[in-house]
Structure 1
Amino acid sequence: MKATFLYGAGDVRVESAPDPTILEPTDAIVRVVRACVCGSDLHPYHSQPAGEQGIRMGHELIGVVEETGREVRSVRKGDFVIAPFAFQDNTCVYCREGLQTSCLHGGWYGTPEVPGLQAEYARIPLADGSLVTVPDVDPDAVPESLLRSLLTLSDVYLTGYHAAHAGLVTSGSTVTVIGDGAVGLSAVLAASQLGAERIILMGRHDSRLALGRAWGRPTSCGNVAPRGSPP
């Protein structure tokens, strides 16, 4: 199969890699339909020291289950699934408290043991806790617009939603979102969906602020002054 490797700052290559296999009975193999380029990928892209061995990139995908380990119960072959940016059992004490990224048995993609997900196929550990099934989706017939929307549920929207959730946004809340990047705009959308009455988006890009108005319907939306500039 083909997969994406980072060899150093600015040096990304698509190369052949071994097809993944079931290593643990809780694993699933997923055929990747779309994978994200996450904002966190930009940090190593700009700063990773050059090396002879490339690092497999990617930690979010949507795809189709091709194979499951014998202990997997919640997904099966043919299911269309979303894989967020970490894997977890979703049963440990931290997962039950909603802190899945602190899962006692989970971890992160992009390591030698669990390679990155920007590839044709991927091994997903702890599949019952790490994959979310999307019912009634035929990947061969679904519109591209829906695929793009579903892909955001593996990555950036989750971050924005977590911010709104952690900020205790409820019906009637007044919310300020600092930053008009992808995460900030996702927080605007999430705050609106959680019932915020007034959303103030602080940013400096007219096109993004316009999108924030459309997504959040805020009554106040303005530009933040550059650091060091007079108020």
Structure 2
Amino acid sequence: MRAVVMHAPRDVRVEDVADPVVQKPTDAIIRLAATCICGSDLWPYRGTDEVSEPLRMGHEYCGTVEEVGADVHDIEVGDFVIGSFFASDNTCEICRAGYQTSCIHREVLGTSGGAQAQRMRVPLADGTLVATPGQPDPELIPSLLAASDVLGTGWFGAVAAEAGPGKTVAVIGDGAVGLCAVLAAKQLGAERVIISSRHADRQALARELGATDVLSERGEAFITKVKELTDGLGAHSAVEAVGTHESMHQAIGATRAGGHVGFVGVLHDVAITGEDIFMTHVHLHGGPAPVRRFLPELVQLIWDRKIDPGKVFDLTLPLDGAAEGYQAMDQRRATKVLLTV
């Protein structure tokens, strides 16, 4: 089969690799309907994360089950499924508390072959995968794919920030996760949603997804503007969807005393001192999003056509065009690239 392999920074190739096989009785093999490139894939692409050997890429996926192991009972051959970027049993005490990405038996999907491929092996299939109510119409596939990561991650960011009715939510980051956090905050009932963005296309989509205010300011200027819009208090909630030192401090600074910051950007060189948070009474909560917690609800919302997170995909390419997709996202010519399989 064909799969995306990163050999070094900015060296992405689509190569012939061995088809996946069932290795454990809890595995499933799925044929992908679509996959995509994540903003976090750009960290190794840009050389921020080391690439010491050829690396199979991708962790966002949806598709049809082709084979299951002997101990898979809830997922069946022929099901159309979506899963999280971490495999989890969904039964351990940590999973039952809603933190499947910290499952005591978790597996990173990359260890079983990346999702930017024609087929993939999914460990712990019963706990990881969620089946749709039936076979989806083709126009739903981009949104179902988004649920695999960026929608679930943005949703967790909003939940961790305790977005809700009557609240003002500030979103730092206008990538796919930030845009999905806007959608989530709106769905959770936020009264006002403020996003930081300097890109006209992303600004327009943010408004379409529920943003009430779009600010081009960053850093201290953004913090000042948010406080001006909130009677000097700051937002009740902030979602940090970038993962840099600057974006984290922007989120904390824009949040009022006693407010909540949900951080879901993959952190790189972020330093927070006790002084940064002691005098602010700001609550911090986040980490790798437990997408599996939200998947049943998100799949149903998409199925009922109540939300359309697939709008974050603004460039579609065939799998063999993956290198072009990485370039487009790296150069900010695309927000998020969907790869057809």
Length-normalised TM-score, structure 2: 0.62
Q: Distance in 1 between matches of 2:11 and 2:182?
A: 34
Deviation for aligned residue 1:20: 1.1
The equivalent position to 2:163 in structure 1, one of 153, 156, 169, is 169
Identity, % of aligned positions = 49
Could you tell me which residue of structure 2 aligns to residue 11 of structure 1?
A: 11
Q: Given residue 22 of structure 2, which amino acid in structure 1 is its aligned partner?
A: I
Deviation for aligned residue 1:68: 0.6
Say if 2:55 is the partner of 1:62. no
Deviation for aligned residue 1:152: 0.5
Could you tell me which residue of structure 1 aligns to residue 273 of structure 2?
A: none
Could you tell me which residue of structure 2 aligns to residue 206 of structure 1?
A: 200
Per-residue displacement from partner, 1:32-74 (whole Å, max 9, x unpaired)? 11112111111111116666x5211111100000011111111
* Structure 2, unaligned runs of 5 or more: 225-341
Tell me, what secondary structure is at the counterpart of 2:46? helix
Deviation for aligned residue 1:206: 2.5
Tell me, what secondary structure is at the counterpart of 2:76? coil
Tell me, what secondary structure is at the counterpart of 1:110? helix
The equivalent position to 1:215 in structure 2, one of 201, 209, 213, is 209
Could you tell me which residue of structure 2 aligns to residue 147 of structure 1?
A: 141
Indicate conservation of the 8 Å contact 1:59/1:117, yes or no.
Answer: yes
Say if 2:134 is the partner of 1:136. yes
Length-normalised TM-score, structure 1: 0.89
Relative contact order, CA 8 A, sep 6+: which one is greater? 2
Tell me, what secondary structure is at the counterpart of 1:162? helix
Indicate conservation of the 8 Å contact 1:83/1:130, yes or no.
Answer: yes
Indicate conservation of the 8 Å contact 1:36/1:155, yes or no.
Answer: no
* Structure 1, unaligned runs of 5 or more: none
Say if 2:87 is the partner of 1:87. yes
Indicate the structure with greater helix content.
2
Q: Given residue 172 of structure 1, which amino acid in structure 2 is its aligned partner?
A: G
Q: Distance in 2 between matches of 1:49 and 1:99?
A: 27
Structure 1 residues 109 and 157: CA distance shift in structure 2, 3 A: same
Structure 1 residues 77 and 176: CA distance shift in structure 2, 3 A: same
